Amino acid sequence: MATMYYESDVDKSSLEGKTIAIIGYGSQGHAHALNLRESGHNVIVAQRPDSANGRLAQEHGWQLHSVSEAAAKAQIIQILLPDQVQAKVYKEDIAPNLQDNDVLMFAHGFNIHFNQILPPKNVDVIMVAPKGPGHLVRSEYEKGAGVANLIAIYQDHSGNAKKLALAYAHGIGGTRAGVIETTFKEETETDLFGEQAVLCGGASELVRAGFQTMVDAGYQPEIAYFEVLHELKLIVDLFYQGGLSYMNYSVSDTAEYGGHTRGPRVVNETSRQAMREIMEEIQNGSFAREWLCENLVNQPVLRKMRERDHDSQLETVGRKLRKMMPFVNPKEV
């Protein structure tokens, strides 16, 4: 079993007298900055002022710094930029401003694990990664709750790295929910696998395939939408509350029997083999190379995929139906 850390395991003194720079005021950045400030820490923010997030940060009362200024001023530097831009910003603006005994921090292990950022030996390198989206890290903290965190130590120059990680996790509310220690390797590989095979990739493709099968069979697209996309949330909420057994307990016996016997025909040995191959591409670095190259050429594949989804029948029907359901809090991109 993993060792869990909670409020009573924290030595808050390890952040005393230190300045924490939050680099990037996006999904994670705004939540870390605000939570740490309200936990009584000394925080500064780096974010371009001429951006939506820059304006938001100013509304939240931050005086904005450039990345190099913030890196120079702070002893703890938490990099919360998109993963694909971190290495460039690190080389140009952070590395030249690192001082002896500084602490370099991440919320995802990608750039350290795949050697895109090669930190010097005289700093600590640690990760505090909330297992949830940034807006929840903020809203749970405001409620007096928290989102669970993973912590990892890549380099412990000070001998104090774990205490620092726990104190930081405490500052963003993570120790209220629980903190688990991992490694940069485990966090990076499991995070990539989960999002590719199950969460973002697998679940979306299952919805697309189910929708298309129903429409091709002549059923109304609106019914297909409700059946495979809208209702998926209700099922996942049952997983979340009580696991697979509680979902099966709540649905009809017909649904339970049909699911048990038909599900494995859809996610079958071919799918499991595909999962193992996806895992292998993550572990051997070929996914990382592909994604970094995609970014060097301005994301042509990603842009095509977004267009394809935006104009698809599933998305077009969904946009129309969601407009009639204000209670789902519809969003458009």
Cα end-to-end distance, the chain, whole Å: 41
Compute the distance between CA of residue 221 and CA of residue 126 in angstroms, rounded to an integer.
48
Site string for Mg ion, 177-206 (x = CB under 5 A): --------------x---------------
Residues 6+ apart with CB under 8 A from 71: 21, 23, 46, 77, 93, 94, 97, 98
Site string for Mg ion, 138-177 (x = CB under 5 A): ----------------------------------------
The reply to whether 69 sits near ligand NAD by the rule CB under 6 A is no
Question: Annotated active-site positions, please?
Answer: 108
Site string for ligand NAD, 26-45 (x = CB under 6 A): xxxx----------------
Smallest gap, in angstroms, from Cβ of residue 279 to ligand NAD? 19
- Binding partner at 76 among ligand NAD, Mg ion, none, C-beta below 5 to 8 Å by kind: none
Between CA 14 and CA 22, with CA 17 as vertex, the angle to 5 degrees is: 85
Nearer to ligand NAD, 258 or 285 (CB): 285
Helices (H) and strands (E) in the chain, counts: 17, 9
Smallest gap, in angstroms, from Cβ of residue 273 to ligand NAD? 28
Smallest gap, in angstroms, from Cβ of residue 181 to ligand NAD? 17
Span of 113-121, 126-134, 154-162, 175-183 interacting with ligand NAD by CB under 6 A: 126-134
Span of 21-29, 144-152, 217-225, 302-310 interacting with ligand NAD by CB under 6 A: 21-29
Pick from 265, 275, 263: which is nearest to 199 by CA? 275
Among 7, 16, 40, 51, binds ligand NAD (CB under 6 A): 51
Compute the distance between CA of residue 59 and CA of residue 242 in angstroms, rounded to an integer.
40
DSSP label at 198?
I
Compute the distance between CA of residue 264 and CA of residue 268 in angstroms, rounded to an integer.
5
Smallest gap, in angstroms, from Cβ of residue 188 to ligand NAD? 9
Compute the distance between CA of residue 227 and CA of residue 314 in angstroms, rounded to an integer.
12
The reply to whether 119 sits near ligand NAD by the rule CB under 6 A is no
Among 15, 44, 70, 89, binds ligand NAD (CB under 6 A): 89
Residues 6+ apart with CB under 8 A from 319: 330, 332
Compute the distance between CA of residue 221 and CA of residue 199 in angstroms, rounded to an integer.
24
Pick from 184, 213, 153: which is nearest to 83 by CA? 184
Span of 127-135, 181-189, 209-217, 279-287 interacting with ligand NAD by CB under 6 A: 127-135
Smallest gap, in angstroms, from Cβ of residue 16 to ligand NAD? 25
Between CA 44 and CA 48, with CA 46 as vertex, the angle to 5 degrees is: 145
- β-partners of residue 155 are 125
Site residues for ligand NAD per CB under 6 A: 24-29, 47-48, 51, 53, 80-83, 85, 89, 107-108, 129-130, 133-134
Residues that bind Mg ion (CB under 5 A): 191
